[in-house]
């Protein structure tokens, strides 16, 4: 009984520290004005992105070895940044094509390092579609989604650790740890889906501001749907909303920003 009380006390302390740490990490987004719970400064995001970029590129076979293709993608990305609200953000944007010809993907690191795989690029038919992908990824950077996820993960890790200690049974410690981690991961999924939808909204706005056709982002959704081969996981178990769900939100965003 004494050992169990001690475990609960330690668990409560860990949980409180995690919660207090999370709720006190609040910064105002320099572009949107939104109050966000993040622990990194924009300067730290930039430094982290620059430091991580080479390793991330290596994970996808390095950079695509065609300077003209690299420069064309960089030009599209910079055009979006310079002619949209993204120009008001404190980040150092750069755009890279990865050599991976099998993985259909694009992603953004904190601070402005943005990547698109050759596999995805080769499926896009117009400059507007490429702009649609890059605009979406710029939205992740402006939205500080990586920094938010890191702060959330710190919270979830702390709570999961507290739950593991509180529920620990000398006979099956690994089981309780597994359950706690599973719950933490499932809770975390909703942040990913919300981030994707917000980035689609930003992407539509930035495409319009930069003179690109926002409808191209709808075609990108078709490309992603085709690339999945109909084997995409159910939306509730994925960090990305289904393409059909995203298309409805994109259409609404096009209507919203086209009126302004």
Q: Residue 183 is inside which H or E element, if any?
A: helix 173-209
The DSSP 8-state label assigned to residue 85 in this structure reads G
Pair 200, 249: CB distance under 8 Å: yes
Q: According to DSSP H, which parts of the chain are helical? A: 2-23, 42-59, 67-82, 118-121, 127-142, 145-167, 173-209, 216-228, 243-258
Rounded Cα distance between 241 and 239, Å, is 7
CA angle 6, 10, 13 (to 5 degrees): 140
Spacing of C-alpha 126 from chain mean position: 24
Pair 120, 64: CB distance under 8 Å: no
Alpha carbon distance, N-terminus to C-terminus of the chain: 65
Pair 184, 160: CB distance under 8 Å: yes
**Residues linked to residue 95 through DSSP beta bridges, in sequence order:** 114
Pair 223, 106: CB distance under 8 Å: no
Q: How many residues does the chain have?
A: 260
Could you give the residue numbers annotated as active site?
137
> Hey, is 56 helix, strand or coil?
helix
């Amino acid at each position: 009984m004494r050992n169990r009380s001690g475990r609960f006390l330690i668990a409560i302390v860990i949980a409180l520290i995690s919660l207090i740490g999370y709720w006190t990490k609040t910064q105002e987004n320099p572009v949107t004005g939104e109050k966000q719970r993040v622990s990194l400064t924009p300067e730290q995001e930039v430094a982290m992105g620059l430091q991580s970029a080479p390793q991330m590129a290596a994970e996808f076979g390095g950079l695509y070895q065609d300077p003209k293709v690299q420069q064309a993608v960089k030009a599209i990305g910079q055009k979006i940044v310079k002619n949209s609200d993204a120009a008001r953000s404190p980040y150092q944007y750069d755009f890279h094509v990865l050599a991976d010809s099998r993985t259909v993907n694009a992603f953004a690191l904190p601070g402005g390092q943005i990547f698109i795989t050759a596999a995805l690029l080769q499926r896009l038919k117009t400059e507007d579609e490429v702009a649609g992908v890059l605009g979406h990824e710029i939205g992740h950077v402006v939205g500080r989604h990586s920094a938010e996820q890191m702060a959330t993960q710190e919270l979830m890790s702390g709570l999961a650790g507290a739950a593991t200690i509180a529920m620990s049974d000398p006979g099956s410690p690994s089981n309780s740890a597994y359950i706690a981690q599973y719950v933490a991961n499932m809770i975390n999924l909703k942040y990913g889906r919300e981030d994707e939808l917000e980035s689609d909204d930003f992407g539509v706005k930035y495409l319009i501001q930069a003179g690109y056709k926002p409808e191209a982002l709808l075609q990108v959704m078709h490309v992603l749907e085709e690339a999945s081969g109909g084997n995409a996981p159910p939306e509730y178990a994925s960090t990305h909303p289904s393409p059909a769900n995203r298309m409805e939100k994109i259409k609404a965003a096009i209507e919203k920003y086209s009126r302004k």
